[in-house]
């Protein structure tokens, strides 16, 4: 999803519909042979598919672990150890990101964090987590999401697993040199790490073709344009489906118990959550909420995995099962179509015996000028 130059993976932005819209820079169309990386980088995918170029750089995390191991072994941490940490590409780009966010983050700040008693107590867990994450083979994950992207889309990103004071994860410099920062969390398994990266790769691939959608909604009045942009936030649910690999695969199979419980709640409360977002769209269109209030309200639907995820996923699954994956990909090109086609299927379901499904208000679809012909 797109946010200025910086994006939280769960942040408020219409295009990650983020993190979470707007387009990433196109990467080289040909990748010849294996991607040659710096010694501390691990190839996430190095095949011959010219649409994918993703690498992971663990150098910052490894440098922190090396210092923690010295501390654990009662060895002196030298100036060379600190310089090795400060010189890593992930750390240098992290400092750039914090500066872009108008936050002060210095070498001394990181040094204080690495020298903390709490971090030292996590030395073994962090070492094991870094080692496990480095073993992740994301080739299959990258290939699995390609069928859930328009054929002209491209995926290019650097993945930075980092150990830092703030435990957040985010996307940075989406338009120029996309980077995915992931906090090294010992509670996150290798499989969950791989799933998260696949999820983010889908956002990046989809954002590479966003310019057409931006053009399609450019002439809308500001309230309608804002709603059309925020409809792109349902890309979180589409990314859940893509990362899972299909509509019959549990999208939170690798998640924590908290995540699974939250997902079960989202499935149970699908109608309620859709109606909440529907009310938000109506308020934005009527001018009841404006400016920052629109962003703040939209942001509340991210949460752990809120309606942008659960409702977006539910609609995407319905469209794929009802009309096919080609139709779903058309909805990714024009974010408004997802709501149109969901309504068609929900209305059909409501005419039959079965659970009632909430619908999007017709005035919302009319105001954002959804295409009159919802090709299936």
pLDDT tens digits, one per residue of 54-87: 889 999 999 999 999 999 999 999 999 999 999 9
Alpha helices in 219-269 (DSSP H): 222-231, 235-244, 257-268
Question: How many Å from the N-terminal Cα to the C-terminal Cα in the chain?
Answer: 26
Q: Is 174's pLDDT higher than 80?
A: no
Q: How many CB atoms lie within 10 A of CB 40?
A: 17
Taking residues 166-175, report their average pLDDT. 85
Taking residues 99-106, report their average pLDDT. 92
**Beta partners for residue 55, in sequence order:** 43, 158
Per-residue confidence band for 97, with pLDDT thresholds at 50, 70 and 90: very high
> What is the reported pLDDT for 113?
98
Q: How far apart are CA 1 and CA 289, in angstroms?
A: 22
Q: Between the CA atoms of 179, 63, 36 and 140, what dihedral angle is there, to the nearest 10 degrees? A: -60
Q: Which residues have C-beta within 8 Å of that of residue 62, sequence separation ≥ 6?
A: 40, 130
- Read off the pTM: 0.80
Phi, psi of 126 (to 5 degrees): -65, -40
> What is the reported pLDDT for 181?
95
Per-residue confidence band for 376, with pLDDT thresholds at 50, 70 and 90: low
* pLDDT tens-place string over residues 219-246: 999 999 999 999 999 999 999 999 999 9
> What is the reported pLDDT for 23?
35
Q: Is 7's pLDDT higher than 60?
A: no
Per-residue confidence band for 37, with pLDDT thresholds at 50, 70 and 90: very low
Alpha helices in 135-269 (DSSP H): 139-145, 190-207, 211-217, 222-231, 235-244, 257-268
Tokens linked to 140: 């299959």
Cα atoms in the 13 Å half-sphere on the side-chain side of 358: 17
Closest CA to 373 of 322, 336, 347: 336
Is the Cα torsion angle 58, 97, 189, 44 positive or negative in sign? negative
Q: From residue 111, how far is each of 27, 81, 87, 114, 123 by CA, in Å?
A: 35, 11, 13, 5, 15
* Lowest model confidence (mean pLDDT) among 113-122, 176-185, 278-287: 176-185
Q: How far apart are CA 35 and CA 38, in angstroms?
A: 10
Is the Cα torsion angle 27, 204, 138, 152 positive or negative in sign? negative
> What is the reported pLDDT for 298?
96
Q: How many CB atoms lie within 10 A of CB 325?
A: 16
């Amino acid at each position: 999803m797109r946010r200025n130059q910086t994006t939280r993976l769960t942040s408020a932005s219409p295009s990650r519909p983020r993190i979470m819209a707007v387009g990433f820079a196109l990467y080289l169309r040909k990748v010849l042979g294996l991607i040659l990386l710096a010694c501390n980088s691990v190839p996430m995918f190095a095949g011959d598919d010219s649409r994918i170029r993703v690498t992971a750089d663990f150098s910052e995390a490894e440098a922190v672990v090396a210092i923690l191991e010295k501390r654990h072994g009662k060895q002196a941490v030298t100036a060379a150890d600190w310089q090795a940490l400060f010189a890593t590409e992930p750390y240098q780009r992290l400092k750039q990101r914090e500066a872009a966010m108008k936050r002060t983050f210095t070498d001394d700040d990181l040094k204080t964090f690495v020298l903390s008693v709490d971090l030292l107590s996590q030395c073994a867990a962090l070492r094991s987590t870094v080692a496990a994450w480095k073993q992740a083979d994301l080739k299959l994950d990258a290939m699995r999401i390609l069928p859930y992207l328009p054929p002209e889309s491209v995926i290019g990103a650097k993945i930075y697993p980092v150990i830092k004071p703030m435990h957040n994860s985010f996307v940075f410099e989406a338009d120029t040199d996309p980077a995915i920062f992931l906090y090294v969390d010992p509670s996150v398994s290798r499989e969950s790490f791989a799933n998260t990266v696949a999820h983010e790769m889908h956002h990046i691939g989809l954002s590479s073709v966003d310019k057409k959608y931006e053009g399609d909604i450019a002439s809308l009045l500001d309230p309608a344009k804002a709603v059309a942009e925020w409809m792109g936030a349902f890309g979180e649910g589409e990314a859940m489906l893509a990362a899972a690999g299909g509509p019959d695969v549990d999208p939170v199979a690798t998640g924590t118990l908290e995540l699974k419980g939250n997902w079960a709640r989202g499935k149970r409360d699908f109608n309620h959550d859709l109606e909440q977002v529907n009310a938000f769209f109506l308020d934005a269109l009527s001018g009841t909420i404006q400016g920052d209030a629109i962003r703040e309200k939209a942001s509340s639907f991210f949460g752990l995995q809120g309606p942008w995820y659960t409702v977006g996923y539910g609609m995407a699954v319905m469209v794929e099962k009802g009309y096919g994956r080609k139709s779903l990909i058309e909805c990714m090109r024009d974010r408004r179509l997802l709501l149109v086609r969901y309504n068609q299927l929900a209305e059909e379901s409501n005419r039959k015996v079965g659970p009632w499904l909430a619908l999007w208000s017709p005035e919302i679809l009319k105001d954002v000028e959804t295409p009159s012909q919802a090709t299936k």
